[in-house]
Amino acid sequence: MQAAEGALSSSEEGSSLDEPTWVSWFCMLRNHEFFCEVDPSFVQDRFNLYGLKELVGPLYGEAMTMILGYAPTEKQLADPTQRVHKVLDTARILYGLIHARYILTAQGLSDMKAKYKAHEFGACPRTLCDKQVVLPVGLSDTHSTSNENPLKLFCPRCQELYDHNVPGGNYIDGAFFGSTYPHLFLQTFREVRPPPPTQRYVPRVFGFKIAKVEEQALQNTAREEWPKRLKNEPVSDWDS
Ligand SMILES: [Zn+2]
Q: Distance from the CA of 99 to the center of ligand 1, in angstroms?
A: 25
Measured in Å, residue 218 CA sits from the centre of ligand 1 at 33
Q: How many domains does the chain have?
A: 2
pLDDT of residue 169: 79
d(CA 70, CA 35) in angstroms, rounded, equals 18
Query: What pLDDT, on the 0 to 100 scale, is given for residue 38?
Result: 98
161-209: per-residue pLDDT in tens? 999 988 877 889 999 999 999 999 999 999 999 998 888 899 899 998 8
pLDDT at 21: 96
pLDDT at 224 (0 to 100): 66
Q: How far is the CA of 119 from the centre of ligand 1 (A)?
A: 14
Q: State the distance from the centre of ligand 1 to the C-alpha of 232, rounded, in angstroms.
A: 55
Average pLDDT over residues 86-111: 97
Q: How far apart are CA 141 and CA 175, in angstroms?
A: 4
pLDDT for 20:
93
Residue 168 lies in a domain: yes
Amino acid at site 150: P
Ligand 1 center to 121 CA (angstroms): 13
**Residue 82, pLDDT score:** 86
pLDDT at residue 228 tops 80: no
- Residue 4 above 90 pLDDT? no
The residue out of 102, 133, 166 marking a domain boundary is 102
pLDDT for residue 1 = 37
For the ranges 88-97, 197-206, 215-224, the maximum mean pLDDT occurs at 88-97
One domain for residues 90 and 124: no
CA of residue 132 to ligand 1 center, whole Å: 6
- In the prediction, which pLDDT does 231 show? 53
- Measured in Å, residue 201 CA sits from the centre of ligand 1 at 13
pLDDT per residue as tens digits for the range 15-62: 456 789 999 999 999 999 999 999 999 999 999 999 999 999 999 999
In the reported structure, the alpha carbon of residue 215 is separated from the centroid of ligand 1 by a whole-number distance in angstroms of 29
Instruction: Report the CATH number that the domain containing residue 18 is assigned in CATH.
Output: 1.10.1820.10
Confirm whether 40 is domain-assigned. yes
Residue 61 lies in a domain: yes
The answer to whether residue 146 is domain-embedded is yes
Whole-number Å distance, alpha carbon 185 to ligand 1 midpoint, is: 17
CA 206, 212, 213, 216 dihedral sign is: negative
Residue 160 inside a domain? The answer is yes
Integer Cα distance of 174 and 171 in angstroms: 9
Ligand 1: centre distance to CA 160 (Å): 6
The model's pTM is: 0.80
> Tell me, what's the pLDDT at 210?
81
Is 217 domain-assigned? no
**C-alpha span between 153 and 190 (Å, rounded):** 19
Cα of 129 vs centre of ligand 1, distance in Å, is 5
Ligand 1 center–CA 152 separation, angstroms: 13
Cβ atoms 98, 40 nearer than 8 A: no
Lowest mean pLDDT among 6-15, 78-87, 213-222, 223-232: 6-15
pLDDT of residue 103: 98
Question: How remote is the CA of residue 165 from the centroid of ligand 1, in Å?
Answer: 15
Q: How far is the CA of 237 from the centre of ligand 1 (A)?
A: 50
| In contact, 97 and 52? CB cutoff 8 Å | yes
Q: Which of 102, 129, 153 is the last residue of a domain?
A: 102
CATH classification of the domain holding 185: 2.20.25.20
Report the separation in Å between the CA atom of 177 and the middle of ligand 1, taken as the mean of its atom positions: 19
Claim to verify: residue 74 and residue 126 sit in the same structural domain: no
What is the 164 CA–ligand 1 centroid distance (Å)? 13
Task: Give me the domain span that covers residue 48.
Answer: 6-102
Residues 117-166: pLDDT tens digits? 999 999 999 999 999 999 999 999 999 989 899 999 999 999 999 999 88
- C-alpha of residue 192 to centroid of ligand 1, in Å: 14
Ramachandran class of 207: left when φ > 0, alpha when ψ lies in -120 to 50, beta otherwise: left
| 226 within some domain | no
pLDDT at 10 over 70: no
Higher pLDDT, 197 or 217: 197
Residue 170: predicted pLDDT: 82
- Does 239 reside within a domain? no
| Whether residues 52 and 132 fall in one domain | no
